[in-house]
Amino acid sequence: MLGGIKNMPKKQPFQKITNRELEILQLLWHTDHPLIASEIATLKPDLTINTVQAVLRNLLKYKYIEVADIVYSGTVLTRSYRPLITEQDFGVSQVIRDFHSFEGLSVPHLVAGLLNEPITADEISELETMIAQQKERLKQRKSGK
DSSP of 8-34? S-TTPPPPP--HHHHHHHHHHHTSSS-
- Domain 19-83 adopts which CATH fold? Arc Repressor Mutant, subunit A (1.10.10)
What is the structure's pLDDT at 98?
A: 86
What is the structure's pLDDT at 122?
A: 95
**How many Å apart are CA 127 and CA 121, to the nearest integer?**
10
Tell me: pLDDT of 70 over 60.
yes
Name which of 9, 2, 44 is nearest 24 in CA terms: 44
Contact by Cβ (8 Å): 65, 56: yes
Percentage, residues of the chain above pLDDT 90: 68
**How many Å apart are CA 32 and CA 13, to the nearest integer?**
28
Tell me: pLDDT of 55 over 50.
yes
Tell me: pLDDT of 31 over 80.
yes
pTM: 0.76
pLDDT class of 12 with cuts at 50, 70, 90: low
Q: What is the mean pLDDT of residues 89-106?
A: 87
Provide the phi-psi class of 64: left if phi over 0, else alpha when psi is between -120 and 50, else beta.
alpha
What is the structure's pLDDT at 47?
A: 95
**How many Å apart are CA 4 and CA 130, to the nearest integer?**
10
Q: What is the mean pLDDT of residues 93-122?
A: 88
List the domain boundaries for the chain: 19-83, 102-144
- Please give the residue that has the higher pLDDT: either 25 or 106: 25
Tell me: pLDDT of 2 over 60.
no
Average pLDDT, rounded, for the chain: 89
